[in-house]
Chains A and B, each alone.
Chain A
Amino acid sequence: MMASESLDFVPQASGQHTLRRLLRYMLPYRRTVIFALVLLLLATATDVLQPILIKVFIDRYLIPRHFPKPAMIGLGGGYLALVVMTAGFNVAQLLLFQVLALDVIQTLRVELFDKVQTLSLAFFDRTPVGVLVSRLTNDTEAILDMFMTVLSTFVQNITVLVGILIAMFALDVRLATYCLVLLPVTVAIMLFYRKITAPVFHRARQRLSLLNAKLNESLQGMAVIQAMRQEPRLREEFGTINQAYRQARFRNTQLNALLLRPLMDGIYLLALMLILWYFGERSFAHVVNIGVLYAFVTYLSRFFEPVNSMMQRLNFFQQAMVSSERVFQILDNPDLAPQQEGDHHPVIQRGQICFEDVSFSYDGQTDVLKHISFTALPGQTVALVGHTGSGKSSTVNLLLRFYPVQRGRITIDGIDLRHFSDDELRRKIGLVLQDPFLFVGDVSSNIRLGNTWITDEQVQDAARFVQADTFIDAFDQGYHAPIGERGATLSTGQRQLLSFARTMAMNPAILVLDEATASVDTETEEAIQQALAKMRHGRTTIAIAHRLSTIQDADMILVLHHGEIVERGTHQQLLAQKGLYYNMFLLQQGSTAAP
């Protein structure tokens, strides 16, 4: 595997469209948004008022050297109150916006999860586990950054900027008008910076992916590299990519140094000159208020902080957009799992299964099942045998409605499979998987799964029924014994018995057995076979068998080869045919009769 995901990804939707779609997720929270905005406005107002108080103090009291006590207490108290209020409002609005962003992401995550739940298994077959996990977690996390950036940085900073400008106008309209020039200048620099750095930033990221891909591949293929003595060449190749990345990074740094903080600091000083010049010139004709000058100088020093922080966030924003597009691609994926058709809600009672001329293809080109027809009467066991790729698993996948039936028809109790509800199918058809998948939790949670209607008693009955109770009781914590990742703490046999119990707890009418290929010791094997025999009793069973010895008592054995049923009959009948089944049986007996 190569770490080249970002290289492969081609953004499709336009950035604006993606952004709009993202922002729509905030609609349900509009009350909170408005409340937070009000708080933000209050905070900004109390914040920009502070220099005005100082201005009043300087002009009205300090310069005339006149300090009436009540005014002093009022001003001083007022100033401190404003400081505290600003802080208070800010704490509240910052928290609100952050919580809001987190809530929005929670909504998006759950929506994505719900979507994933409806996707077809074919989608899961195609998509590597890591990629899907990354969509649900890392990509949504990157979008969270976007919301934090847009809300916290952009909205807030722009509000502060506007607040400062309003305060400036309140103090001196003409000077404020001059200062207004700063806005287009900074916006122009921002746009220019964005335009000029976007490709550089992109190039740096691309080279980083390349670097990582090279490193990853080299680490995986190190044995080959060493055996073929290519270490010096590969080092050189890596060195070249490394240098290319260095150059891109350096270029990035150069542009940042040229256009970010140093430039903003420079513009700040130029603006200071403007203010000084304005007051200086005026002073030759009028009396100037030192306090106003003081306030302007203060505002100016605050003007550039928001600009700086916005510019630094621009690149993260881009990354979040890439993640959003990936997430939306899944949300828009039309490849859904088969759903119930019609609203009759038929019920499975007897469990008669019928395949009528079923053909199936995963890719639309090669058929993995060709004209499969058979009937399993209620209570019968039908076994499927054949080599890997002969179509056994596909047959079962169709019966479980993991994939849609494309040609032909499958019926249960004479009713087309498509008409059953998911719930009915899942509760009445019990699947016993070849590789029992256990979840992190404890013994009983693995038997019960999420079916809260299954009582503790039923859990224990199920375990007893498949004779899993002996080893469960031997655990110190019994049914509450913890189970680690993929049940690694249990033996293969124990895992299988647990998965049997899981199926029996549902008490299904139909059993689908996918026999394990892994070998277990004879004693466990015996327990498993006994349990299976008990489970099959009274249930229609479709069994995938690898060891022919385990299905000798099946009512019918279907021998599959390249998606076709080539032989069918009971064990004795098939042996007598001396065909493929016979040879397979010989092979498994370990005898070597020549063909």
Chain B
Amino acid sequence: MQVFSDLMWFFKEHRTRYLIGVALLVVVALIALIPPKVIGIVVNELAHHTLTHRRLVYALLAILLSALASYGLRYLWRILLYGGSIQLATELRDRLYHHFTLMAPEFYHEHRIGDLMAHSTNDVQAIQETAGDGVLTLVDSITTGTVVIATMAITISWKLTAIALLPMPLMAYAVSRYGKLLHERFAVAQAAFSDINDRVQEYVSGIRVVRAFGQEAWERQQFVRLSRDVVNKNVAVARIDSLFDPTISVIVGLSYFLSIAFGADFIVHHQMNIGELTTFTLYLGELIWPMLAFGFLFNIVERGSASYERVQRLLEIAPAIQDAPHADTHVPTGDIVYDLERFTYPTQDTPALKHIHLHIRQGETLGIVGRTGSGKTTLMRLLLREFDVDQGDIRIGNRSIKMVTLDALRQCIAYAPQDDFLFSATIRENIAFARPNAALEEIEASARLAQIAHDIERFPEGYETLIGERGTTLSGGQKQRISIARALLQDAEILLLDDTLSAVDGRTEAQILEALRANRLGRTTIIATHRLRTIAHADQIIVLEDGMIVERGTHDSLWAQGGRYHDMYQRQQLEAFVEEGGATV
């Protein structure tokens, strides 16, 4: 029941809704007392032949009124209580989403997207059920239970009430016992299901081996065995499940039997009349649901509180990267200076970068080359403050990037990341991602600079072409160029291209670089790449190896050095030649 007090903030916030809802539940429980009472009265008068037309009409009217009233009120409390739980779920999802947008990459390394999705869907759903069905069951079973039992005991016969209720503890026991068994066996069945899931996953992934070794029959045998196992485990669940309702009906039947048998005895001894007995059994019928519901309540609440805890734990994680107190809100501008002793990713032991001392003058182009894992991307991510540096500092225009707000910092940087992530939206929306209100002319201009305009114009829908899973599939090179256009539209002082030209052919690449040089006069560009010819014209080139700068200079000076850069350059020329199927004759 802890979860109800955990959710108290919400109940308080929506106090009127819940107060009225609960009050209505009580009123409905009271109204529900009327029809059985009326029937009892009519039965008595029938038995004693005292019924008159007028009294019959009154009786019918009383039932009609209670029918209308309870229909209206039942509708209302459902809207109030279930509406409240839907509202709660909506608020929780908004909170979670808001929270996700504050989380730095570190968070996304630690939590798998699938898990985060599960928290935002399944867990929120379970909480919603607790706040809806849970609250309803709790209030309803308590109010209906007490109101009905009290009425039976006070207005009819406390003795008969006690006798009739004798089997009820059995029911509570049966519900909780079966509930526990069901829960356990269901968990076992789920595990079997997850086994077959894993097995099928393995089968599909290894389909080539299966086919090549002719293992189809064997695989079938495995599959049949595992799915048989799922069936058997589910039969175990069904065994309990099919006991559930019949057991309840035996207990209820027993209760009715006791009521009628002892009720008859009371009637004979004039402690009761036949009408009261009829009313009594009808009340008894109204008690079954609250008793059952109380058994289920524990289930709902248990799931809800576990889910609430998980969501809460997620929401309590503080963002790893935050604005410093009194951080500068002015957009930084000027030379970029890296003064890094070392940087290690939070989850790793070996540093990703060591002794990086770099000065990039405003307007310069820096080229970074090196193998995968040499630290090129890390260098860019640090400038964006995706991670914070603790041994050393990075400055733009002589201000530490930690001393400006994240918003201001990221405003001066346009970034085309390595994994050209595009959204399932139109091309236009994708290019205008950072500036959703940009005019179409501007978008087209960026697309032209990124040499993607021709490709886009060839699509029937042009800039309105939907891309992503449900739209047109783009080639790797097209995606990269859209990602570049998106970065260019930001019109920021600093442009980061993180290996964003790898899937673009040589000629187009040259055109993009040419367009960039003309367009980005006076602004700083940092390009990381495998392909040396991409950065041959850069003002400054650094060669990274194992997180350290091993060579630096311009293309000419590095070529002249005859070191790693020189070797790499020659190799790449030969590689390109072989790739084109070239042969020296």
Closest to B252 in A: A83
The bracket for how many chain B residues form the interface is 35 or more
Contact present for B86 and A580 (CB under 8 Å): no
Interface residues of B in 555-585 (CB under 8 A from A): 567, 570-571, 573-575, 577-579, 581-585
Q: Say whether A74 faces chain B, with CB atoms less than 8 Å apart.
A: no
Asked if A233 meets B245 with Cβ closer than 8 Å, knowing A63-B274, A219-B117, A269-B67, the reply is no
Contacts of B579 in A (CB 8 A): 387
Pull 15 A–B residue pairs with CB atoms less than 8 Å apart, ordered by A: A54-B260, A83-B257, A84-B250, A94-B238, A102-B231, A222-B101, A231-B101, A243-B90, A257-B79, A266-B71, A280-B60, A429-B212, A440-B202, A451-B215, A595-B577
Min C-beta distance of A145 to chain B, whole Å = 12
Option from A67, A243, A277, A586 in Cβ contact (under 8 Å) with B574: A586
Question: A557 to B525, alpha carbons, bound, how many Å?
Answer: 47
Contact present for B214 and A235 (CB under 8 Å): no
Q: Say whether B386 faces chain A, with CB atoms less than 8 Å apart.
A: yes
Question: A216 to B121, alpha carbons, bound, how many Å?
Answer: 11
Contacts of A426 in B (CB 8 A): 211-214
Option from A65, A283, A337, A450 in Cβ contact (under 8 Å) with B221: A450
Residue-wise, chain B 55-71 has the 8 Å CB interface mask toward A (1 for contact) of 01001100110111011
**The stretch of A103-111, A339-347, A362-370, A532-540 that contacts the partner chain:** A103-111
Question: A80 to B415, alpha carbons, bound, how many Å?
Answer: 79
Contact present for B577 and A226 (CB under 8 Å): no
Min C-beta distance of B309 to chain A, whole Å = 21
Closest to B205 in A: A129
Q: Say whether B464 faces chain A, with CB atoms less than 8 Å apart.
A: no
Contacts of A216 in B (CB 8 A): 113, 117
Contacts of A102 in B (CB 8 A): 231, 234-235, 238
Min C-beta distance of B127 to chain A, whole Å = 14
Give the B-binding residues of A (Cβ under 8 A).
1-4, 7-8, 47, 50, 54, 57-58, 61-63, 65, 67, 76, 79-80, 83-84, 86-88, 90-92, 94-95, 98-99, 102-103, 105-106, 109-110, 113-114, 117, 121, 124, 129, 132-133, 136-137, 141, 211-213, 215-231, 233-235, 238-239, 242-243, 245-246, 249-250, 253-254, 256-258, 261-263, 265-266, 269-270, 272-273, 276-277, 279-281, 283-284, 288, 290, 293-294, 297-298, 301, 337, 387, 400, 402, 422-423, 425-427, 429, 431, 433, 437, 439-440, 449-451, 485-486, 502, 506, 561-562, 566-567, 577-580, 582-584, 586-587, 590, 592-595
Question: A88 to B246, alpha carbons, bound, how many Å?
Answer: 7
Closest to B386 in A: A223
Q: Say whether B536 faces chain A, with CB atoms less than 8 Å apart.
A: no
Option from A62, A249, A337, A429 in Cβ contact (under 8 Å) with B274: A62
Closest to B413 in A: A227
Contact present for B35 and A242 (CB under 8 Å): no
Contact present for A136 and B200 (CB under 8 Å): yes
Asked if A230 meets B433 with Cβ closer than 8 Å, knowing A88-B246, A110-B223, A449-B218, the reply is yes
Closest to A253 in B: B82
Contact present for A290 and B274 (CB under 8 Å): yes
Contacts of A337 in B (CB 8 A): 211
Contact present for B97 and A215 (CB under 8 Å): yes
Question: A592 to B410, alpha carbons, bound, how many Å?
Answer: 43
Contacts of B261 in A (CB 8 A): 76
Min C-beta distance of B479 to chain A, whole Å = 12
Question: A147 to B89, alpha carbons, bound, how many Å?
Answer: 31
Min C-beta distance of A570 to chain B, whole Å = 17
**The stretch of B347-355, B416-424, B537-545 that contacts the partner chain:** B416-424
Contacts of B253 in A (CB 8 A): 50, 79-80, 83, 86-87
Option from B193, B207, B215 in Cβ contact (under 8 Å) with A124: B207
Option from A62, A132, A276 in Cβ contact (under 8 Å) with B39: A276
Option from A57, A254, A429 in Cβ contact (under 8 Å) with B260: A57
Contacts of A235 in B (CB 8 A): 94, 97-98, 101
Option from A2, A84, A86, A262 in Cβ contact (under 8 Å) with B424: A2
Contacts of A402 in B (CB 8 A): 208, 211
Contact present for A450 and B215 (CB under 8 Å): yes
Contact present for A587 and B575 (CB under 8 Å): yes
Asked if A256 meets B78 with Cβ closer than 8 Å, knowing A230-B433, A437-B205, A582-B583, the reply is yes
Contacts of A433 in B (CB 8 A): 208-209, 212
Contacts of B313 in A (CB 8 A): none
Interface residues of B in 211-263 (CB under 8 A from A): 211-224, 227-228, 231, 234-235, 238-239, 241-243, 245-247, 249-250, 253-254, 256-257, 260-261
Q: Say whether B359 faces chain A, with CB atoms less than 8 Å apart.
A: no
